[in-house]
Amino acid sequence: MSRTTPIRLTVNGVPRRVAAEPQHTLLDLLRDDLGLTGTKECCLEGECGACTVSLDGRIVDACLVLAPEADGAEVTTIEGVAADGSLTPLQQSFLDCGAVQCGYCTPGQVMAARDLLARIPHPSVSQIQEAMAGNLCRCGCYRQITEAVVAASAAADR
């Protein structure tokens, strides 16, 4: 018999209550309990960054966070980034720069880049590469992803 753990958290500004299996991860909670499938499931080992979300203001691999650890937390997922339904300049830059091929890594890439630009509005190429190193892209769009972050940084000045 499994015992669930009651969890209260705020996801994309909305208070949510979930009865989670204690061994479930934040990724399970988001995708399976809340239906927020924009956050992707891939390696489940903290290696690929596909599951990147913001947890209390810092980005984490949701596959490495147990659901009960998110009790009381503020979580932002890719669904919460374009809150009014319009793409953010960063998301538009990903499209404009051809940084989206299959798109599987894109939500995690956007979350990581968003975090970087919040901390460093005008990052150098090496700072971008360092900040994005935990987000793998099997389509090999690394150059375009870097260009997208540079373009978004420049767009913020206009």
Binding site for ligand FES (CB under 6 A): 41-44, 46-51, 61, 63, 100-106, 137-139, 141
Per-residue CA distances from 128 to 28, 35, 74, 146 (Å): 29, 31, 25, 7
Nearer to ligand FES, 122 or 143 (CB): 143
Nearer to ligand FES, 12 or 106 (CB): 106
Nearer to ligand FES, 82 or 139 (CB): 139
Count Cα atoms within 13 angstroms, Cβ side, for 148.
Answer: 26
SS3 25: strand
Closest CA to 70 of 51, 56, 88, 87: 56
Shortest approach of ligand FES to residue 146 CB, angstroms? 13
Shortest approach of ligand FES to residue 57 CB, angstroms? 19
Nearer to ligand FES, 151 or 156 (CB): 151
Shortest approach of ligand FES to residue 3 CB, angstroms? 25
Shortest approach of ligand FES to residue 77 CB, angstroms? 13
Which element (helix H / strand E) includes 54? strand 52-55
| DSSP conformation class of 32 | I
